[in-house]
Structure formats: structure tokens, C-alpha cells
Amino acid sequence: MPPTKAPKYGHLFIAVQRCGLRITKELFLKRVRDITPEGHDPFPWTVDDFLYTNREKIIKHKLGEKLKQYLFPGHSKSTNLERLDLNTFCFLLIHFCGLEIRVRQDINRLRKLRNKLVHLGDGDIDEYTYETDLDRIRGIISRCSNELNNPELAVELENVIKEIENVQLADFEKAREKLKEWMVDETKYRVWIKFTQEGFDGLKTALQDVQERLEENGKLGHIDISFSSAILFIELGKELEEAFSGAYQGSVPGKLHTHIQSCVDAIKEDIRQMGPEVESVSIGSIIFKFTCFSVTSLIYLVDYFSGPILQRRLHGIAKALQDMVDDLVTIQICVPPENSQEIIQKLEKVCVSEDDVIPQAKRKKVFNDPLYGQIELHPLCVKIIDTPQFQRLRHIKQLETCYLVYPGASHNRFEHSIGVCHLAGKFLRVLKELQPELDITTKDILCVEIAALCHDLGQGPFSHVFEHKFIPTVFPDSKWKHEMATVKMFEYMLRDNEGKLREYFRQMIPGFEESDIEFIKELIGVPADLDAQVWPYRGRNKNKSFLYEVVANGVNGIDVDRWDYLARDSLMMGMKTTFRYSRLIQHAKVLVAEGRKQICYREKAAETLYDMFYSRMTLYKTAYQHKTHNIIGLMIRDALLAANRKITFASEKGEELPISDTIHDMKAYTHLTDDILQQIQRSTSDDLKTSREILDRIIHREFYKCIIQTQIDVEQKGWIQKKDVQKTLFDKINQKRKQIDPTDSSKILEIDVVNLDYGFKDNDPVTKVWFFKKGQEDTPIRIDKEQVSFVLPDTFAEQYVRVYSSVTDSHLFDIIEQSFSEWCDENDIPQPKGLSIPKDDSPK
């Protein structure tokens, strides 16, 4: 017996036919009322008033001409709305009702979904497509019901969707026939863009194999290869064949000819590096011929023709065709098989000989990472890794002196940088797959991966000890940041190494341009304001602003750099963390918010984001700002200060530069790593005696002492400035000890103010993140923490004030405690825990 239940595509038919028809009819009637001219009598317009006012425009349209007998039945008759179908209402709404763009997009989605179902035939659809289309229908219902200000309608139609699983086959057949009705002739066209993957995939695999063999043997020179690809228009029908014939001959002015020509021009512009030529143009096809200068550029070209980029270029033609016939034509992209074979044969001749073939296993560039397992990096990334400037990162600790507190924290910037590179590529590939309309190219991904790989090139010895303790002491007015040195080191890396690396960039980045170098430097430099009135970058335009949020996100702090160090540092220190970056990747989407494209997240990922920021604060509190770790950092700073002018490094100009001045010369800076401490310890020079004594104290764990500390409620007291605390406390301490020791106590004491927060001072960082809801995926929204959980913190920051001493003196410690206690009283700050001196409560 035949099945009595309708298949999944039958459920969608019911949802589109019932919900779509109701929504579009109600929207149409509302717009007729809304656009009635003021003072019209009677008010508002009737449907016939609207139609006859727009009669000339409607009939000029091809579909309007065919709908004439239904829309304009005669002077004595009124239009019968019950005879109008979903397609007719969509036609009127889109072209003549002045819809806002977001509503018009929804109506277009509904129309396209109807067309897809009509042409599906009797084939069913998979579960993912079914759920995706249902969610899309729900979103359209929700947004259009809001536009109608009719929540009851939303509930009614949602119930229709809930009941569709109970639809019987007979009901489905009736709905399908109703949905297939056209107020036009019965000529059917199929209009969509189709890619023949077989030829492309085979060619790309073969090309990548050849490329690896060439790289292994150093044969990356220019290779001129001809490549042909065709855009074919299938099943045009007589009417469209005539239109296309006229368009190609230039005799048909207007939209169709314009779109075909602009499509060809756009393709030329996209791949201008390869020198495209239009080999032939006929009624049913456009054949392009390219001359490629390297295997890499050829792979890029194959990527272009087999991926979503060209698909979007052809949307203009598809739209023009749809306007002409109001239905779907196949646009097919293919590469001739004989062309592929010829290319590979030519390349084999310049590749390695048969007796010199390198085994496949040796060609892969695989890194075994403790976090991600085996990861494979692009050959250009490997070329960067194999430079002295990057290898330097093997000798710079990721967590400065934390390994002296947490023995396992001895990992380096080297492995962290590789991890960030891996995550950047993974994140962008997911976005590219889920949102092909973003036009994320292979080149974009590679440039971001390179930036992620190189983002820490400018770190000094012991990282933040050098940047935040040593340099500010030597140059108090300097605003130097390691990102500045990163850009300079990247530039030096390109011009060093006999210029080979820059040549690799030119050869191995698809369609390489100098702006790609600029783009990478922008990604690794000090972040600019992405929301500035004038777009601050030149490497990529504002349409790709979201790319600037992947490596170092100055907008909300959610980036792959943070994802890697949270996971890696927790692992190496033996700390547990519940944060999982993979959940954020799965729930990310790029939307337009506040005038530019930003990375947004599904609303249910908000809790994961709070988890991320909490994990960050926990690591800062227990490790990064651990008092013993900070004390050792101060001791290393003092050792470097004492050795600053005693150890020098050769500059590019041959000058000998002290440690502090190497930040201005990258040749010298390349040789400045954590090894500077071993250099000091190995030395027997009297000039380095003071530095050696400080380092000997570290080895024997005779650290400076943390005399006292207290916490400050930032929300209640506001932010305490370090310089203000130092001035007041030093004055108090010096006043109390001046009769015993008149020397300035700042020579032996360090007053430190430690800021602990979620990354944005005392603000909730999640308020800076855009989200979206299921069913409303195209609408960015903000979320309050109360919408996530009621047990999230009310305060997102605190401060610690600490006093360290480089000498051991019990009398001095008493003076410090007394002065600190007085300062706390004067500023209404909690007294330190375990205060050893009695608090004076007598009246002053």
C-alpha cells in the first residue's frame, strides 16, 4: 500500500503554502493601507485603488503582463484576492509596496523556498535541510508578525508548523497542487547555480601534490600554465535563448545585458593576477582562459571556480533571469577533463624525476601539539617557522617566571604561536563553510594564519616582565608595546634571510599583492578602533572588518590568542578549566551590527563566554598575578637594569646597543631572549656582579618579601592609581623612618597595584558582544547577564595593593604595616588580613 503520511518535503509544502500565503496576504493588505496618500477619499485605499494606481508599472513587468487578467478583471469587477497565490503576493510586495529591506529579504526567502520545493519533484530531503528550512520559516513568521504587530498570527502559524507532522498524504497532494499554480503560462525553467565538483576536486588534489614536490626540491620559479574553465547556461528554453543571443550581440539593452557584462568584468577583476581572457562567448556559455605563473596561483584559481566566490558573482545573472521568467535556469561551472590532464602532464615535466620522488609521508608538515594533537600548517607558515626570528620564540617563556612557582609552566611562545595559527585557520574555515556569502578567500585565511603565527614576534625576554616592568623603568615616558616590535620584527624577517621569505610570500600566497603584507601587519599591530567613523585599515576594506577580530580582538576580547593561552596555560600548570573554545566556533556567525560586519554568537553560547572571562580572571589571580611570581619578575627586572649598559648586542648598522635599546633594532632584538639570564650568570665580569647576586638570590629562593597587601572594591571605591598610592605611602614611610634611615625608601620598596578583571575594567565584557537567536539568525541582539543566569557576579573587577621589600628588616616591616594601616583608614579601604600590629582606635 502507498504511504499515508507525507514525507518531510511534504511538511515543508504545507508550512510554505499555509503560512506563506497568510503572511504575504496580510503584509500586502497592511502595506496598501500604509502607503495610501494622505487625504485620499475614501481612506484607506482599497486593493483595486492600489492596483489601478500602479497599473502601468505592473503591466510593464513581464510577470505583471501575465497576471493582468487576474489583477485587473475589468472596470465593473473587483480583484478576487482568493485567486491570488503566494507568488503573486510576493511579486506585488517586492516590487510595488516599498518594503523595508529586512522584510523584503524575508519575502524573497519565502519565494525562493517555494520555488525550490516546486522543483524538488518527489524526492525527499535530509534531516539537516528539513530542520534548517523549518527554522527559516519560523524566523520569517516571527519577523513578519512583528512587522504586522500581530502576535496572535504568529501563534496561529506556529501551531500550523507544530501540526505538520500529522499531515496526511492526500492533504499534502492538495497543498502541492495549490503551491504549483502559476498565473502564467506553463513553460518551466530551472534557474540555479551548479558546480561540477568532479573535475575541480581531482585537479586540485593533483595540483597540491605537485606543489609539495616542487617545494621540497626548491623549484618554486615561474611556471606558465594555461587553464580553461567554462560557465554554461543549461535548459534555457527558446525565450531565454533569444534573450541571451541578443544580450551577447549587444542588441538587448537593460538588466540582462548589464548583469552578464558586469559578471564577466567582475571575474576578470577577481583573478586579474592570472591574466584572464574571454576565450569565447556563445548563447549558452562563457569560456575563460588563464595564464598562471605558479602552481599556487593555479590552485587559487581552481578554488575560485569550485567555491562560493564565483557563485556569488553569478547571482546577478540569476537575479536577472528570475525577473524575466519568475522561476528557476541552471548555471553550470565546469573545467574540461582534457584540460586538467594537459595541465598535470606539463607540470610533471618540471617536477622531480621518477627516481627522485620524495615519499608522501615526508612531504607533510605536521606538528604534534599537546592540546590539538596532530595539526598541519601551510608550507608558507613552515617557511616562517624556519627563520631565526621565529625560532627565537623557543627561548621566551610564555608565562615569564611562573615556572618557578608552577614547575610545569615552562612552555614557550613558540608552541603558543603555532596553536594560535591552527585555531585561526580552523575558525575561518568554519565561517567560510557556513557563510559563503562572506567571500572569505583562501588568501584571507592564509594571511590571518600568518598573522596568528607571528603575533608574538615582538615579545621580549620574560615577556611582560620586559614590557611592563623593565622598559617603563628605563624609559618612563615611553609608550612602547610589544605589538610595535612585532610589526618591526615581521618587516625585518621579510628583508632578512637573503630576501627568500618575501619571495615565498609572493609565490605561495594566492594572487599575492603588497596589500596582503599590509593586512598581516595590521592584524599583528596595536589594534585600531574598528568602529571609527573613517575605516582605519588599508589591508582589507570595511566589508571584511570581522577578519580583524580573529587574532587580536580589541572590541570584546574574544579571539583565538586568548582561546589558546587559556587552554594551554591551564594544561601546563595542572589547573582545571571548563571553558571550551570549540563551542564558540560552532555557534559563531558574522552579522552586520552597528554598521559593520562583526562576529556574533548564538545566545545560548553566552554562558560559555562568561566561563571564558571567568577562566581568564582565575588564571590572572592564581598565576599571572601570583605574588611570588610578581616578586621574581621584579628581581629579574632589577637584574636587567643592573646589566643594561654592561651587555650589548650588534645592530644592523654594526653599533653595539644596550639591552633597552634593542627594541629599536630588530637584528639586535632577535638575539635578546630569556637566555640573557644565563649570559649574566656565566659571566665573571665585575660589571655584572650586582645582576649575578640578584639572580643567585632567585636560585636559592631568597626572594624579595611581600610585606602586606589588601583588596579594593572597585565598584565602591573606583580605580586606585598606582602613582597616587606610591606617593602617599612613600611619604608616610619616609616620615616615620627618617630619624633612623634618611634614605629614600623607594630604593628598597616596591608598591604595586594589581588589577584583576574580566578584561574590560569593571564592566561586564559580554555586554560588548553581539548575539543572535535561533529562528532570527540574521538579527544581531545584545544580552543582559540576567538573561543568562542569576548567579553571575555583580562586580567584574577588583584591585590588590601590595608592598614588597628587597631587604629583610623587622623594624622597617613594622613601619610599613603602620603606614599601610593608616592609609587604609584614610581611604576607607579594608585593613589587610592578619595585620600583626594593633590597630590604633583612639581618637585622633
pLDDT by residue (tens digit) across 239-296? 666 666 665 565 555 556 666 677 777 777 777 666 777 777 666 677 888 887 777 7
Cis-peptide, bond into residue 359, ω within 30° of zero: no
Residue 482 CA to residue 478 CA, distance in Å, equals 12
Name all contacts of 499-503 with Cβ < 8 Å and 24+ positions apart: 501/383, 501/384, 501/387, 503/220
| DSSP state, residue 192 | E
* 743 three-class SS: coil
Residue 753, C-alpha cell as written in the block: 597595584
Please tell me the predicted confidence (pLDDT) of residue 248.
Answer: 59
SS percent in the chain: helix, strand, coil, step 5: 55, 10, 30
Residue 480 CA to residue 664 CA, distance in Å, equals 10
Inform me whether the pLDDT recorded for 496 exceeds 50: yes
Inform me whether the pLDDT recorded for 493 exceeds 90: yes
Confidence tier at 329 by pLDDT (50, 70, 90)? low
Mean pLDDT of the chain: 83
Q: Give 233's strand partners.
A: 331
Please tell me the predicted confidence (pLDDT) of residue 91.
Answer: 84
| DSSP state, residue 57 | H
| Length in residues, the chain | 844
Please tell me the predicted confidence (pLDDT) of residue 364.
Answer: 45
Residue 830 CA to residue 844 CA, distance in Å, equals 19
End-to-end CA distance of the chain: 100
Residues 6 or more apart in contact with residue 326 via CB below 8 angstroms: 62, 63, 87, 91, 184
Which range in 3-17, 321-335, 603-617 is most confidently predicted, on average pLDDT? 603-617
Please tell me the predicted confidence (pLDDT) of residue 356.
Answer: 42
Confidence tier at 183 by pLDDT (50, 70, 90)? very low
Whether the CB-CB separation of 157 and 141 falls below 8 Å is answered with yes
Inform me whether the pLDDT recorded for 192 exceeds 60: no
* 139 three-class SS: helix
Please tell me the predicted confidence (pLDDT) of residue 571.
Answer: 93
Q: Which amino acid is at 238?
A: K
Q: Which amino acid is at 803?
A: V
Q: Give 712's strand partners.
A: 799
Confidence tier at 523 by pLDDT (50, 70, 90)? very high
Confidence tier at 182 by pLDDT (50, 70, 90)? very low
DSSP string, 823-836: HHHHTT-PPPTT--
Active-site residue among 482, 626, 671, 811? 482
DSSP string, 492-552: HHHHSGGGHHHHHHHHHSTT--HHHHHHHHHHHSSPP-TT-SS---SSS-GGGGGGGGTSS
For residue range 770-799, list pLDDT tens digits in order. 999 988 889 999 998 888 887 788 888 899
For residue range 673-712, list pLDDT tens digits in order. 999 999 999 999 999 999 999 999 999 999 999 999 999 9
Please tell me the predicted confidence (pLDDT) of residue 209.
Answer: 75
* 304 three-class SS: helix
Whether the CB-CB separation of 322 and 241 falls below 8 Å is answered with no
Residue 301 CA to residue 298 CA, distance in Å, equals 5
Cis-peptide, bond into residue 461, ω within 30° of zero: no
Inform me whether the pLDDT recorded for 3 exceeds 70: no
Helix (H) or strand (E) holding 777: strand 776-781
> CA 510, 516, 521, 523 torsion: positive or negative?
negative
| DSSP state, residue 327 | S
Residue 193 CA to residue 316 CA, distance in Å, equals 11
Please tell me the predicted confidence (pLDDT) of residue 67.
Answer: 77
Inform me whether the pLDDT recorded for 94 exceeds 70: yes
How many Cα atoms occupy the beta-carbon half-sphere of 152 within 13 Å? 1
For residue range 799-829, list pLDDT tens digits in order. 999 999 999 888 889 899 999 999 999 988 9
Between 394 and 304, the higher pLDDT residue: 394
Residues 6 or more apart in contact with residue 269 via CB below 8 angstroms: none
What is the percent of the chain with per-residue pLDDT over 90, rounded to a whole number? 40
* 6 three-class SS: coil
Please tell me the predicted confidence (pLDDT) of residue 90.
Answer: 86
Tell me whether residue 482 is one of the annotated catalytic residues: yes
Q: Give 226's strand partners.
A: 291
> CA 831, 834, 836, 838 torsion: positive or negative?
positive
Please tell me the predicted confidence (pLDDT) of residue 431.
Answer: 92
Please tell me the predicted confidence (pLDDT) of residue 744.
Answer: 77
* 143 three-class SS: helix
Q: What does R_g of the chain's alpha carbons equal in angstroms?
A: 34
Please tell me the predicted confidence (pLDDT) of residue 113.
Answer: 79
Residues 6 or more apart in contact with residue 383 via CB below 8 angstroms: 501, 504, 508
Confidence tier at 844 by pLDDT (50, 70, 90)? very low
Grid-cell match 572597585, residue found: 714
Whether the CB-CB separation of 459 and 465 falls below 8 Å is answered with no
Residue 206 CA to residue 219 CA, distance in Å, equals 17
In the predicted model, what is the mean pLDDT of residues 117-140? 72
For residue range 98-114, list pLDDT tens digits in order. 888 778 888 888 877 77
Residue 284 CA to residue 233 CA, distance in Å, equals 5
Residue 89 CA to residue 265 CA, distance in Å, equals 35
Residue 739 CA to residue 534 CA, distance in Å, equals 60
